[in-house]
Amino acid sequence: MNHGIVLLAGLAAIGWVNWYFFLAKRGPVVLARTDQSGRQEVRIVVHGGYDPATVEARAGVPLRLVFDRQETSSCSEEIVVPAFGIRQFLPAFQKTAIDLPGASPGTYDFTCGMSMLHGTIKVR
C-alpha cells in the first residue's frame, strides 16, 4: 500500500516538475511600443527570469530592449542575444538598453550568460 502511494506520488511529482518548467504557459506576450521616431521599445524586468519573457515586435523596425535588472544574482548578470552577436553585462539595479536592428520575421531567443534563463522575441 505504502509502496504504491510513494510510487504514485513520485511519478506525479516528476510529472509536475517537468510540466511546470517545460510546458506551462509563461506569462503574457508583450508587444513592443513604437515611439514617434519609429523605434520599438520594450522594458524587461530581470529578476530570476525575464518579465515579460516573450516580446512581440514588428519586422524591419529597430528594437530597443531595456533590461531592468532588479537583483544581484550572478545568474542574470549577462544578457545574450545570440542571433545578433550580443553579450552584455547588466549592472544590478540599473537599466541597460540593447539596440537591435530591424529584423526579419522569425523567433529570436535571448538568454542569460549561462543559457539557463530564457526569453523570446517574436518578430512578425
Partner 1 sequence: MAVRSRSSANTESPDQGTAGSLKKVTIPVSGMSCAACQGRVQRALEQEPGVETANVNLMLGNATVLYNPAISTPEHLVETVRGTGYGAQLPSANQSAVADQEAQDRAQQDEFLEYRRKAGVSLLVAGLAMLFSMPLMMANATVSGKSPADPFMAWTMRHLNPPLMDTLPWLYHLNSTLLLYVLLAMTVTIMVWAGRHFYIRAFAAFRHHSADMNTLIAVGTGAAFIYSIIATFYPRLFLDSGIAPDVYYEAIVTIIGLVLVGNALEARAKRQTSIAVRTLITLQPDSARVLRDQAELDLPIDQITSGDIVVVRPGERVPVDGVITRGESAVDESMITGESFPVMKSQGSHVVGGTINRTGSFQLVATDLGADSTLQRIVRLMREAQGTRAPIQRLADRISAVFVPVVISVAIATFVAWYFFDTQAPVVRGFAASVAVLIIACPCAMGLAVPTAVMVATGRGAQWGILIKGGEALERAQAVTTVVLDKTGTITEGRPAVTEVVVLDPEYHAERLLALAASVESRSEHPLADAIVVYARSKAIPLFEPASFESHTGGGTSGRVDGQEIAIGSAAFLERRGVSVQSAALPVSVGSEQQTMVYLAIEGKLAGTLSVADPIRDTSRDAITRLTRMGLDLVMLSGDHRRTAEAIAHAVGISRVVAGVLPEGKTDEVKRLQSSGEVVAMVGDGINDAPALAQADVGIAMGTGTDIAMEAADVTLMRSDLRGVPLAIHLSRRTMRTMKQNLFWAFAYNVVGIPVAAGVLYPVFGITLSPVLASAAMALSSFSVVGNSLRLRRLHAG
**How many angstroms separate the CA atoms of 32 and 6, rounded?**
47
- In this chain, which of 73, 105, 107, 124 binds partner 1, going by CB under 8 A? 73
- In this chain, which of 7, 29, 59, 60 binds partner 1, going by CB under 8 A? 7
Q: For residue 40, give the amino acid letter.
A: Q
Q: Give the distance between the most distant pair of CA atoms in the chain.
A: 68
Name every residue whose Cβ is closer than 8 Å to that of residue 54 and which is 6 or more positions away in sequence: 26, 27, 28, 29, 30, 119, 120, 121, 122
Q: Is 94 a binder of partner 1 (CB under 8 A)?
A: yes
What is the chain's Cα-based Rg?
18
Instruction: Restricting to residues 32-61, name those near partner 1 by CB under 8 A.
Output: 35-37, 41, 47-51, 53
Q: Is 1 a binder of partner 1 (CB under 8 A)?
A: no
Footprint on this chain of partner 1 (rule: CB under 8 A): 3, 6-7, 10, 13-14, 17-18, 20-22, 24, 26-27, 35-37, 41, 47-51, 53, 71-75, 77-78, 80, 82, 84-89, 91-92, 94-101, 111, 113-118
